[in-house]
Chains A and B, each alone.
Chain A
Amino acid sequence: MEAINLQALLIILFVSIGTYSLRVSGLLLSNKLVNEGKIKIFLDYLPATLLLSLIVPSILKEGIVGLVATAFIALIIYKTRSILLSMIIGVGIVALSRNFI
């Protein structure tokens, strides 16, 4: 049995406290704000702008295949509104291209 590594525990402790504080403080702060006008617009747009910031660089890195998969996802969402189906098709396109092209 290895000795308990205090440095490792310190890292886990501080990242845990920091991450939890970020999660909670964002919510508590936005609840304090008056949810109207510009603040409402800012908060309303936050989910989409966060998601876009996550996905757009990743899609572009995937190249043409990423764009094709994105187009299919858009089409499936438009036609069926099914998140699950669009995920399966998107993953399928990328997997096919990686294994067979």
Chain B
Amino acid sequence: MKNDFRNGFIANIPIGISVFAYGSVLGMIATQKGVALYELVLMNIFIFAGSAQFVIVDMWSSSLDVIGIILAALMINLRYFLVGASLNQLFIGTTKKEKFKYMHLVADENWAITIDKMKTQEITPLFLFGGGIALFFLWSLGTIGGYTLGGFISDPSKFGLDFAFVAIFTALTFNMYKGSSDILPWFIAGLTAVICEHFMDGKLYIVIGALVGSLSATYFVKEEHGSD
């Protein structure tokens, strides 16, 4: 349990390399868009959400559309509500203070790695937090590096690094497979996401796919009775 922080930190370093690379791209764009370094650092510390920060910087201009940017960024981050909800098992028996403390540095990456770890090992929220700290350092290093040094990794997609996120999330998803009862809700989630992504602007498809998929599970999957 004492090592949870360290283990979480280490477990997030491989995906953190991609986080670092994309941070450098964001930093580079931020320079071009006229974002001040302190503004970038404030975003890293207080928003700490990669795709939302990309959207904010992308929409940045000399005359800021304050409401538009806030809404666009929060729309992307809506999924964190579901991410938070899915962490209820990890936080069982913790105090409110611990919840408030450890939830800030929750990103897609350390969340997914934590959910995966929970299946095989008894872990505490410190594992999640350790991962968040690792990501925070690599994200800050990447963004500030890209901002001050320019695009030292100007095209991470050339090295397939954009696919690193997809690959690791795909691996984690397959690792969650429990049996044939998963197939239908999983299919419905994926299909809903694809359809919504095609017909809707923004990133709302993530939340809708997850909601529809999980709701379908409550309909199609039988409740377990006394299996433990």
A78 to B89, CA, bound (A): 26
B215:A42 contact, CB within 8 angstroms: yes
Residue contact A94 to B163, C-beta cutoff 8 Å = yes
Q: Which of A16, A50, A90 contacts B170 (CB 8 A)?
A: A90
Q: Is the CB of A26 within 8 A of B189?
A: no
Nearest A residue to B49, CB-CB: A19
Question: Which residue of the partner chain, among B66, B172, B185, contacts A51 with CB atoms under 8 Å?
Answer: B172
Complex CA–CA separation, A60 to B73 (angstroms): 25
Which secondary structure characterizes the binding site on chain A? Answer: helix
How distant is A81 from chain B, measured CB to nearest CB, in Å?
7
Partner among A56, A78, A84, A99 whose Cβ is within 8 Å of the Cβ of B193:
A56
Instruction: Assign chain A's interface to a size class.
Output: 35 or more
**When chains A and B are docked, how far (Å) is the Cα of A48 from the Cα of B194?**
15
When the two chains form their complex, are residues B171 and A73 in contact, meaning their CB atoms are under 8 A apart? yes
Contact A35 to B88, CB < 8 A, known contacts A41-B218, A53-B193: yes
Q: Hey, what's the 0/1 contact readout for B107-135 against A, CB within 8 Å counting as 1?
A: 01000110110000000000000000000
B153 interfacial contact with A, CB 8 Å: no
Evaluate contact between A90 and B194: CB separation under 8 angstroms.
no
Assess the A48–B159 pair: CB atoms within 8 A: no
Complex Cα–Cα for A55 and B47 (A) = 23
Q: Is the beta-carbon distance between B168 and A53 smaller than 8 angstroms?
A: no
Known contacts A50-B86, A53-B206, A57-B194; is-contact A28 B74 (Cβ 8 Å): no
Q: How far is the CB of B2 from chain A (nearest CB, A)?
A: 23
Whether, in the assembled complex, B214 has its beta carbon less than 8 Å from a beta carbon of chain A, the answer is yes
By the criterion CB–CB under 8 Å, are B213 and A49 in contact? yes
Report the nearest A residue to B99, measured CB to CB: A27
The CA-CA distance from A35 to B85 in the complex, in Å, is: 11
Pick 30 A–B contacts, CB within 8 A, sort by A. Answer: A10-B66, A12-B39, A12-B43, A15-B69, A16-B47, A18-B74, A27-B84, A27-B99, A27-B103, A35-B88, A38-B223, A46-B85, A46-B210, A48-B189, A49-B210, A50-B83, A50-B86, A50-B210, A52-B173, A52-B209, A53-B190, A54-B193, A60-B194, A73-B167, A83-B172, A86-B167, A90-B167, A91-B160, A91-B161, A98-B160
- Contacts A35-B89, A73-B170 aside, 7 further interface pairs with beta carbons under 8 A come to A7-B66, A28-B84, A41-B214, A43-B88, A44-B217, A83-B116, A91-B163
A interface residue numbers (CB < 8 A to B):
2, 5, 7-16, 18-20, 22-31, 33, 35, 37-38, 40-60, 62, 66, 69-70, 73-74, 76-78, 81, 83-84, 86-87, 89-95, 98-99
Spell out B's residues near A (CB within 8 Å).
Answer: 14-15, 35-36, 39, 42-43, 46-49, 52, 56, 64, 66, 69-70, 73-74, 77-89, 91-92, 99-100, 103-104, 106, 108, 112-113, 115-116, 157-161, 163-164, 166-176, 182, 185-186, 189-194, 197, 205-215, 217-218, 221, 223
